[in-house]
Structure 1
């Protein structure tokens, strides 16, 4: 079994969301310092780079990319790496202080939030040069409320149900296409002595992925995004059906999830103790060699035939520019490079758990998980980011996290849980 490390896309979500909430007008967390300083890029031949990929594999991967950029340009890159969770906790203070010229962040609501505050730089002129390499959906995810672009997409990863092929072959399991087939399979796994669905909720965010899958499979993409935007009622029969369906599946989930981190759940899958695991493809970071070759996944099964499997959760990670970079010309030159197939291929060569975002990327070196990830995203009619990327951070950090945890603890208390979530949603979205 492979090492177990903190993932680069999803670590420290609750801390991150609280930091964003602070940026919305609440008191900032005391004692947080800016991650970097634009003085690092004060020399015209140097670009400072705020890096949140602190684990060894992704850190090595982005370092290789930046070294390649140095060779191709006349510029040097000063890499400022912060531990991933700390980076996200400090993002609000960081952007208001002396941020690096180029800095890591996420597409969608998270990007728009800070762009709307005027804390990041307009990249529309960069997009005029590199936009041809991106699908329209990626441009949309990189566009602020003012119609300008503020992020260069770099990598993307889908969520799916992961499993070990060898175990399924030994047991004669088949990929379920519908919810009923999933329940039948989970029942068989349980009788075979396996935990059907590995599950962890100590970090607060994994359950959001389960909710998302159930919601857009049952109610469709449009209802899902409208619910995230505060345009639908959390006490509606449609949301109640989501939790009733989850309640049906919960007995098949790994017990004591609130005390387990996602890496531990991944370990149970790797050790053959669990049969399935719903997570992003970054779970592949935890497998290597024969274990990685044995890993496979499938999109969450159909629940409502009206929507089938038309929606895929596939968050986008990328890079922004400081609002007043010390070396703006150099920053834009680096961002243009990050939008090239060569740069993204260089990264994925070292960290092959995500896929490139540029449409003309060389995929010949993709492993089986990456090839399937690319195809699943390509085939999707709709793409979502993730609950805490698609909604107001104030709602995600408290109402959603606490509501989902309460449901996992007491699934018979759905009505009161949804009332609490609905009340908070009304306060946040109409206040």
Structure 2
């Protein structure tokens, strides 16, 4: 799963710029804070592709500047370039703060001792009381190594006007989904719009079905390499998936186009539903975004607690940062409800804090309400597992959706990768 910044860049290429604002001089520190008053410089590396969000970050830093005398230099990197650069700069030339991803991608740097433990900041600001389940996304062995930022809640999306016209209701069970599929086909529509050219959308279906059938603990055991891809527990997951494939629930030739084209098919009323996150709106004309509705992925195993993919970006203090105290105090200011809300509003991201005000985006508010009924969350397949394992998994899931009869060979191949990657 590409993170939200990357997805938005593909929807609006003008948002992508390489190393923007490298010399931006900003400042920050309340004079009443002795630790920061003595600091003279703070450096930040971000991967923000959304121009409006970059502006909000600069505004926050500028307002912070008025109260103190810390020079803040913000280097904004191209998203893809940042993925490579962070591996080097965390070791040599680390900034004081950097934007990254929570979950397994964060954990990889924690294990290498490259992100600082900021549990003291969590305690000082009482963040756990407002973050709730989101705290887990930045926690390793009971310690916090970052602050969660904007999130993506994954589920099913559809057009209100189409469902009203057809008299359809959002499916609550997998049986309902299959019934809706038949109704959609009878109406000349694709039941579920799907584009797997970039492969990751197929992983969303695996996540949803595994969480609905096996629950979070088994799902995360698989993600952590502690469970085999040939385990019997996965059989009903692929059985259910194969049933949907054979029922022709998904777009034909879905490997030839991406998520944007799939979202456009939903917007054009060629498809009934789509499994994605709130950025689906970028596939809709602006004057039709208000027709988008959200529904949780349907129940498969009766009585299973509701677990969802809620992918969170995050911000971190590198272990090799020069101004760790300054970084913590800037984070405390940046993470104030009003500042974080403004920052996230610019990209229509779901806030991790429970005390943020309602968004102007109804899809964000729908996600916030839906999250209140979630027992716990995962991230997304390629965020939750090792990168090498994820790459093979994405290939395997895409292949399965085209050739479900290759299931055994695909799973054996994934199991071989698991053993190699996790040294199982």
**TM-score interval, smaller chain:** 0.7 to 0.9
Once the two structures are superposed, the pairs formed by residues 5-404 of structure 1 within 5 Å of their partners are 7-8=4-5, 44-71=39-66, 73-132=68-127, 133-145=129-141, 147-250=142-245, 251-287=248-284, 289-307=286-304, 310-351=306-347, 353-363=348-358, 365-398=359-392, 400-404=393-397
* Cα pair distance change 1:428/1:8, threshold 3 Å: same
* Cα pair distance change 1:36/1:390, threshold 3 Å: farther
* Cα pair distance change 1:69/1:168, threshold 3 Å: farther
Residue by residue over 1:17-66, the C-alpha shift from the partner in whole angstroms, topping out at 9 and shown as x without a partner, is: xxxxxxxxxxxxxxxx9999999999944422212111334434444444
TM-score, with length taken from structure 2:
0.86
In structure 1, the residue corresponding to 2:377 is in which secondary structure?
strand
Q: Does 1:421 align with 2:414?
A: yes
In 2, are the aligned partners of 1:34 and 1:91 still within 8 Å (CA)?
Answer: no
Give structure 2 stretches of 5+ with no counterpart: 10-17, 28-37
How far the C-alpha of 1:276 sits from its partner, in A, is 0.9
Residue by residue over 1:268-325, the C-alpha shift from the partner in whole angstroms, topping out at 9 and shown as x without a partner, is: 22222222110122323444743221111100001110316x1111111110012222
Residue by residue over 1:316-335, the C-alpha shift from the partner in whole angstroms, topping out at 9 and shown as x without a partner, is: 11100122223333221221
* Cα pair distance change 1:288/1:48, threshold 3 Å: farther
CA distance in 2, matches of 1:61, 1:40: 15
TM-score, with length taken from structure 1:
0.85
Q: Does 1:411 align with 2:404?
A: yes
CA distance in 1, matches of 2:320, 2:68: 22
What's 2:35 paired with?
none
In 2, are the aligned partners of 1:111 and 1:142 still within 8 Å (CA)?
Answer: yes
In structure 1, the residue corresponding to 2:143 is in which secondary structure?
coil
In structure 2, the residue corresponding to 1:355 is in which secondary structure?
coil
Corresponding residue pairs, total: 402
Which region of structure 1 is more displaced relative to structure 2, 213-222 or 120-129?
120-129
